[in-house]
Amino acid sequence: NAGVMQNPRHLVRRRGQEARLRCSPMKGHSHVYWYRQLPEEGLKFMVYLQKENIIDESGMPKERFSAEFPKEGPSILRIQQVVRGDSAAYFCASSPPLRGALNTEAFFGQGTRLTVV
């Protein structure tokens, strides 16, 4: 059972370009979460998605950032017109559907390290 797969592992973009980060959740998982880790910082929650729905985007910057989790295919985090401050590691996590009141664990991918030059 493959884990959470993120690609690419490393991404270099020039200022003003677009960055597209992909996340394939574990098999059977319908919840996806994106986090950003700035250098020497902890992880900051960005967005929580279920298939075709954004559940919580309270951590997403208001401009240039968007996320989707279509019915088919991976979840995509898109950053338009990247700036140097977007350089960070972006982690995706997934969890299975809720089972009543039973809490479920989230599993993390290895991350995409974005460098904006």
Residues near other proteins, by CB under 8 A: 4, 6, 31-33, 35, 40-45, 48, 56, 91, 93-95, 98, 101, 103-111
Closer to other proteins by CB, 14 or 40: give it: 40
User: Per-residue DSSP letters for 35-74?
Assistant: EEE-TTS-EEEEEEEETTEEEE-TTS-SSSEEEE--SSS-
User: Per-residue DSSP letters for 99-113?
Assistant: BTTB----EE---EE
Tell the smallest beta-carbon distance from residue 80 to other proteins (Å): 25
Helix, coil or strand: residue 86: helix
Closer to other proteins by CB, 14 or 58: give it: 58
Tell the smallest beta-carbon distance from residue 16 to other proteins (Å): 28
Closer to other proteins by CB, 82 or 109: give it: 109
Closer to other proteins by CB, 14 or 99: give it: 99
Tell the smallest beta-carbon distance from residue 81 to other proteins (Å): 27
Residue 113 burial by Cβ neighbours in a 10 Å radius (0-12, 13-18, 19+): middle
Tell the smallest beta-carbon distance from residue 99 to other proteins (Å): 10
